[in-house]
Homo-oligomer: A and B are copies of this chain.
């Protein structure tokens, strides 16, 4: 039908996106630059700008692509438990790609494919007896908690592999026991205690604190 004219394309958006995924997997988001990406695809940096508007659009594309593969777990009957399961799945999906949280936070980048999680959580909350408004509050509180946990986890990972002289442990070793008795008492154990995975515990606390008694257990 349409009169396709002009030079045939050498690269496609799909090529670009998959190359970007490869780079991120191997070198992290910080390794993803337009120039590095061009090398991976086998073109010049400027050829990319013919397929995406700018780096932000590229990240959006990447996010959509990833979100479409996020798992949707089986949901249990109880409303409170359903929220916990959805939240844990959401966090699990993000844990492998912490850069998405950075991108999500950095701008108004949301993917349609990821909306199953808020939908599920808000639906369960309403069924448990909350108003839609309060259900949105519950979801947002869980989201903020999740985003913060993922970021802290990612930073901790970087710290470990960076092998820096652990400023934190030096700090904890020299605490003034008179001013900060609890922290001083914990001392050495801080590292070990903060390594524990307490995500689900937090979600359960939030759910229990916000859902009507009967539904939260």
Contact = CB atoms under 8 A, between A and B. Distances in A.
Interface of A: 60, 105-110, 112, 115-116, 118-119, 122-123, 126, 132-133, 135-137, 140-141, 143-149, 151-152, 155, 158-159, 162, 164, 166-168, 171, 175, 179-183, 185-186, 190, 193-194, 196, 198, 201-202, 204-210
A94 to B, nearest CB: 12
* Top-10 shortest CB links A-B: A205-B209, A148-B148, A144-B148, A141-B202, A147-B148, A208-B209, A209-B209, A144-B149, A145-B145, A122-B182
Contact of A137 (B118, B171, B175, B198): B198
A154 to B, nearest CB: 8
Query: This chain: how many copies in the complex?
Result: 2
B171 A110 contact: yes
Nearest to A159: B108
Nearest to A112: B171
A-side binding surface: helix, strand, loop or mixed? helix
A68 to B, nearest CB: 14
A59 B136 CA distance: 36
Contact of A115 (B180, B205, B207): B180
Contact of A202 (B115, B144, B158, B186): B144
A156 to B, nearest CB: 8
A78 B141 CA distance: 24
B209 A107 contact: no
A110 B173 CA distance: 13
A166 B108 CA distance: 7
A204 B122 CA distance: 20
19 contacts: A107-B162, A108-B155, A112-B171, A123-B181, A123-B182, A136-B186, A137-B193, A137-B196, A137-B201, A140-B198, A141-B145, A145-B202, A148-B151, A201-B210, A205-B205, A205-B206, A205-B210, A206-B206, A206-B209
